[in-house]
A and B are shown apart, each in its own frame.
Chain A
Amino acid sequence: MEDKGLFGKILAIVPGLAVMIGTLYVLRVYVEPWMKDAVVFGSKGWLVQVLSLNYILLSILTGMFYRNILFGGKIPAWAEEGFRTTRLFIKTGVIMLGSLYTFDKLLKVGGVAITLIVAFVFGTAIFVLWLGKRLGADRSVTATMAAACGVCGVSAAVATAPGVRAKPVDLALSIATILGFGIMTMFVSPFVGKMLSLSDYQFGAWVGTGILNSGQVLATCLAFNPNFAPGTAVAYGEIWNVVRVICIPFVVFFITAWYWKGEADAEHVSLGSILASKFPIFVLGFIGMTALSSLHIIGAEGSETLHLMRDVMAWVFGIGLVGLGAYIDVREIKAAGGKPLRIGLIAGVTKYVLAMIIILAFIPKEGAF
């Protein structure tokens, strides 16, 4: 492979990154304001208020348009390196989200979040392990789907696959299922949330518990309420998200141990090695940012610094979400099928609906901050 050197590597990022930034600029400066004023079905701003088509969902949709229509199904070589920065933007955004909290605020909702997430993550994983057996699915397919449906979708599938010897075809079908289900819930949830008049707290808790992919949790919360501030949907949803992300290594360990228990050539798995290799380090950045916020180092609520930071956060997420959209290939999702699809649909819908019932029954409208 050709070695481009540091300067060459940076240069290779520019075209794709310019497309992502330019796209967000056009969406935020021209398209979203136009949509807010546009009259549809006799109602001003219908597109934004009813369909939640703010710059967040538009970013994802535009990314999908690039990949599936403009680029003909494949990110072109000239844009590939730039679009690869998507992960960096979203991780940076999540770290910055830590500034929305202080530790005392986290403690107020942390207990509820931990209880709900742990119950749903392990409950879903155990349900899928049972369902896979009932449907006669291969053990590696069942294990991959248990991780993907239980905790963080595609990321959990990626983390679990090597440990459970997932086969490429099964893994591809599992990922397509998870992605397809997540995209559907991402567009449906804001509409349902508004229809049921959910508060930001309830909405954040619901999608944080019920949506499979953590990236889609963020996007859905921002589609419901695009503001970055304490007490908004994204502020609550992200607490759920972070608890989920921390759960990944434990879920991978649980499922890998289950898998090897049923195999003749059992391998030893240790929680320590899984924690070392699978723990998402950026969560520490998020906690660090919360520490800075708790110590009032980045300014009090309403300060210029925080205002600027939240504006930057909106841009960082928006750019990342254009990229995330460009990684969604509709044709690949349409190819989903077989047992992964059946398991994913049953587990996904059950989790989504059950989470809604629990939120409506036990989570008050008033948030803790």
Chain B
Amino acid sequence: MKLLLALDDGPGARRAVDEAIRIARQQGATLDALFVIDATWDVFTGHDWLSGCNSRIGFLEYMQGLEEKAAAETARAFLERRGDLPGELLTAPGDVVDVVREHAARGYDLLVLSNPFTRGLEVMRDAVAKLTRDAPCDVLLVRPAPE
């Protein structure tokens, strides 16, 4: 069995990681984790037409830096919890939903993600609705732990 965990740095992220690890251990499955570096800030700020190149490039580089920092922190937290479970840690840039969907179609049996899934600009969108609508494999949605 192959599991894909879509990593998030939002409030429900930790419980999704725990659930994915629990299922992988129970099933003796491989657990791959995917962190998508959101590369859609350019389109999100497309309404900004008057910034000069320097200003805009400076902004996009700043956002890229924050995304990479989030990727490193999330990966470190995941690796600490995963222990000796077999699997890979994947990082890919792009549109979060598109990249997760594309990876999930690569022979995985189950996609695990937090609900709501707020990676990058998905905080402004509805990644869960889009991913579950035409998911290429089974999907497990994990709610945040009750406060």
> Cα distance A262–B82 when bound, in Å?
40
Question: Does residue A172 face the partner (Cβ distance < 8 Å to B)?
Answer: yes
Judge whether B125 and A159 touch: CB under 8 Å.
no
Question: Does residue B63 face the partner (Cβ distance < 8 Å to A)?
Answer: yes
Task: Please give, as numbers and ranges, the residues of chain B lying within 8 Å of A175 by CB-CB distance.
Answer: 44-45, 47
Q: Which of B54-62, B71-79, B104-112 contacts A (4 or more CB under 8 A)?
A: B54-62
Task: Please give, as numbers and ranges, the residues of chain B lying within 8 Å of A169 by CB-CB distance.
Answer: 118, 123
> Cα distance A307–B35 when bound, in Å?
55
Task: Please give, as numbers and ranges, the residues of chain A lying within 8 Å of B124 by CB-CB distance.
Answer: 172-173, 176, 331-332, 335
Question: Does residue B83 face the partner (Cβ distance < 8 Å to A)?
Answer: no
Of A80, A159, A276, A332, the residue contacting B44 (CB under 8 A) is A332
Question: Does residue B95 face the partner (Cβ distance < 8 Å to A)?
Answer: yes
Judge whether A91 and B49 touch: CB under 8 Å.
yes
Residue of A nearest to B97 (CB): A74
Contact with A along B36-48 (1 / 0, CB 8 A): 0010000111111
Judge whether B55 and A278 touch: CB under 8 Å.
yes
Question: What bracket does the count of chain A residues touching chain B fall in?
Answer: 35 or more
Judge whether B66 and A154 touch: CB under 8 Å.
no
> Cα distance A250–B46 when bound, in Å?
23
Question: Does residue B51 face the partner (Cβ distance < 8 Å to A)?
Answer: yes
A281 with B45, Cβ < 8 A, contacts A158-B59, A172-B124, A331-B125 known: no
How far apart are A210's CB and chain B's nearest CB, in angstroms? 18
Question: Does residue B145 face the partner (Cβ distance < 8 Å to A)?
Answer: no
> Cα distance A158–B61 when bound, in Å?
11
How far apart are A78's CB and chain B's nearest CB, in angstroms? 14
How far apart are B8's CB and chain A's nearest CB, in angstroms? 12
Task: Please give, as numbers and ranges, the residues of chain B lying within 8 Å of A159 by CB-CB distance.
Answer: 51, 55, 59
How far apart are A286's CB and chain B's nearest CB, in angstroms? 11
Question: Does residue B146 face the partner (Cβ distance < 8 Å to A)?
Answer: no
Of B51, B56, B95, B125, the residue contacting A332 (CB under 8 A) is B125
Judge whether B123 and A86 touch: CB under 8 Å.
no
Q: Which of A190-198, A264-272, A320-328, A358-366 contacts B (4 or more CB under 8 A)?
A: A320-328
A179 with B47, Cβ < 8 A, contacts A172-B123, A332-B124, A332-B125 known: yes
Judge whether A161 and B62 touch: CB under 8 Å.
yes
Task: Please give, as numbers and ranges, the residues of chain A lying within 8 Å of B120 by CB-CB distance.
Answer: 168
Contact with A along B17-56 (1 / 0, CB 8 A): 0000000000000000000001000011111111110111
Of B58, B123, B126, the residue contacting A277 (CB under 8 A) is B58
Q: Give the dominant DSSP class at B's interface.
A: helix
How far apart are B126's CB and chain A's nearest CB, in angstroms? 7
- Which of B46, B49, B95 has the largest count of A CB atoms less than 10 A from its CB? B49
Judge whether A154 and B95 touch: CB under 8 Å.
no
Judge whether A74 and B95 touch: CB under 8 Å.
yes
A154 with B52, Cβ < 8 A, contacts A162-B62, A168-B120 known: no
Question: Does residue A90 face the partner (Cβ distance < 8 Å to B)?
Answer: yes
How far apart are A145's CB and chain B's nearest CB, in angstroms? 15
Question: Does residue A75 face the partner (Cβ distance < 8 Å to B)?
Answer: yes
Judge whether B123 and A331 touch: CB under 8 Å.
no
Extra 16 A-B pairs, beta carbons < 8 Å, given A154-B48, A155-B48: A74-B95, A90-B50, A158-B48, A162-B59, A162-B61, A168-B63, A168-B121, A172-B124, A215-B49, A277-B52, A278-B54, A282-B50, A324-B49, A328-B47, A331-B125, A332-B124
Nearest first, the 6 A-B pairs at minimum CB distance are A327-B46, A162-B62, A335-B124, A154-B48, A332-B124, A155-B48
- Could you pull out 30 A-B pairs where Cβ atoms are within 8 angstroms? A80-B43, A84-B46, A90-B49, A94-B50, A152-B50, A155-B48, A155-B50, A155-B55, A157-B48, A158-B45, A158-B48, A158-B56, A159-B55, A168-B63, A168-B66, A168-B120, A169-B123, A172-B44, A172-B121, A175-B44, A175-B47, A214-B50, A277-B52, A278-B51, A278-B55, A280-B50, A280-B52, A331-B125, A332-B44, A332-B124
